[in-house]
């Protein structure tokens, strides 16, 4: 197996994990799936760093992803969701998605759409990069779909992280990653964002007594104050 085949396999796995994330029934399994997806992303970055020799930036990025997205963020989200959801057992009983089949059909349509949209970007005839860019855009769109269809705050955090993974993957295949300084800046912003998500979980839990964002309906046009 050559390096391109490995990368093609990894990009397929990235898309597969996104689909699985979308239709998971429980928060815990979603978090594990996210960790797997990040692990594949980390491997893809590592593979890219071997294809172009002396790319220490990419090697470092792979380590950064592993530490941040495979270990820290899943651990942090799991810790928070366990600590907060135990109070309200009825929250955990119901499945996260009502119609998984319909959802995966919509997701498939989005994948086709992104293949169509990225048609103009396929500058090289290489099998890997022409597929990978469409996959990167699909992951971004599926992350947005996840945020729209789910109603738990933790799923929203995961949806944002999936979008972030998609963007990182796009940068990896299009331009072999962003310059290191920018990469670090983005990683810092992501870290702050995930901590803010944590702060919000606590605030939401105290103000609406659950992490179900459907209960956020106080602010509407023309409501009495």
Partner 1 sequence: MIFYAILLTPLLGIILFSFIRKARWAVSINLFISTVNFIAMILLLMRWQTTPSFFILHAHEQLYLDALGLIGWTLTTFIGMTTALFSYGYMLQNLQERRITLKRLQLYHLFYQSFIFSLLIAFSANNIGLLWVAIEGATLATVLLVSLYRTPEAIEAAWKYFIICIVGIALALFGTILIYFAAQTSLDPSHAILWNALALHAKTLNPSIMILAFVFLFVGYGTKAGLVPFHFWLPDAYSESPGPVAALLSGLLLNVALYALLRFQILTNLSLQNGLANHLMIVFGLLSFVFASLTLHHQQNIKRMFSYSSIEHVGIMTFAFGLGNAVAILSGLFYLIIHALIKSAIFTTVGNVMHLTHTQKIEKIRGLLKLNPWVGWLLIVALFAIAGAPPFGLFIGEVGVFLATLQTDPYLAIILGLGFLVVFAALLRYMQSMALGNPDKTAYPTPPIAKINLVPAGLHLLIVLILGLYIPSFFMQILKQAASLFIGQ
Q: Which residues bind partner 1 (CB under 8 A)?
A: 117-118, 120-121, 123, 137, 140, 144, 147, 153, 156, 159-160, 163-164, 166-167, 170-171, 174-175, 178-179, 181-182, 185-186, 188-189, 192-193, 196, 199-200, 203-204, 207-208, 213, 216, 218-219, 221-222, 224-225
Distance (Å, rounded) from C-alpha 18 to C-alpha 15?
5
First and final CA of the chain: distance in angstroms?
Answer: 65
Q: Which is nearer to partner 1, 2 or 124 (CB)?
A: 124
Distance (Å, rounded) from C-alpha 164 to C-alpha 39?
14
Distance (Å, rounded) from C-alpha 209 to C-alpha 202?
9
Minimum separation from the CB atom of position 115 to partner 1 (A)? 14
Q: Which is nearer to partner 1, 5 or 189 (CB)?
A: 189
Q: Which is nearer to partner 1, 5 or 202 (CB)?
A: 202
Minimum separation from the CB atom of position 182 to partner 1 (A)? 3
Distance (Å, rounded) from C-alpha 58 to C-alpha 55?
6
Q: Which is nearer to partner 1, 96 or 178 (CB)?
A: 178
Q: Which is nearer to partner 1, 2 or 222 (CB)?
A: 222
Minimum separation from the CB atom of position 123 to partner 1 (A)? 8
The answer for residues whose C-beta is within 8 angstroms of residue 125's C-beta and 6 or more apart is none
CB 21 within 8 A of CB 36: no
Minimum separation from the CB atom of position 101 to partner 1 (A)? 25
Minimum separation from the CB atom of position 185 to partner 1 (A)? 4
Distance (Å, rounded) from C-alpha 156 to C-alpha 21?
12
User: Backbone phi, then psi, for 210, in 5-degree steps?
Assistant: -165, 170
């Amino acid at each position: 197996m050559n390096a391109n085949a490995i990368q093609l396999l990894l990009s397929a796995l990235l898309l597969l994990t996104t689909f699985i994330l979308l239709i998971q029934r429980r928060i815990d399994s979603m978090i594990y799936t996210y960790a797997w997806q990040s692990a594949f992303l980390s491997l893809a970055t590592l593979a890219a760093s071997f294809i172009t020799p002396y790319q220490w930036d990419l090697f470092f990025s792979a380590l950064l992803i592993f530490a941040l997205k495979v270990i820290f963020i899943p651990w942090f989200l799991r810790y928070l969701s366990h600590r907060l959801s135990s109070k309200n057992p009825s929250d955990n009983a119901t499945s996260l998605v009502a119609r998984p089949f319909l959802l995966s059909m919509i997701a498939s349509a989005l994948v086709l759409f992104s293949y169509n949209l990225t048609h103009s970007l396929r500058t090289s005839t290489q099998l890997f990069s022409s597929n990978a860019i469409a996959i990167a855009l699909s992951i971004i769109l599926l992350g947005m779909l996840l945020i729209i269809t789910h109603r738990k705050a933790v799923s929203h955090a995961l949806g944002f992280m999936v979008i972030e993974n998609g963007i990182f993957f796009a940068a990896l295949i299009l331009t072999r990653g962003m310059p290191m300084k920018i990469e670090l800046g983005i990683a810092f912003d992501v870290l702050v964002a995930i901590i803010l998500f944590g702060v919000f979980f606590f605030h939401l839990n105290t103000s609406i007594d659950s992490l179900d964002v459907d209960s956020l309906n106080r602010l509407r046009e023309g409501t009495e104050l």
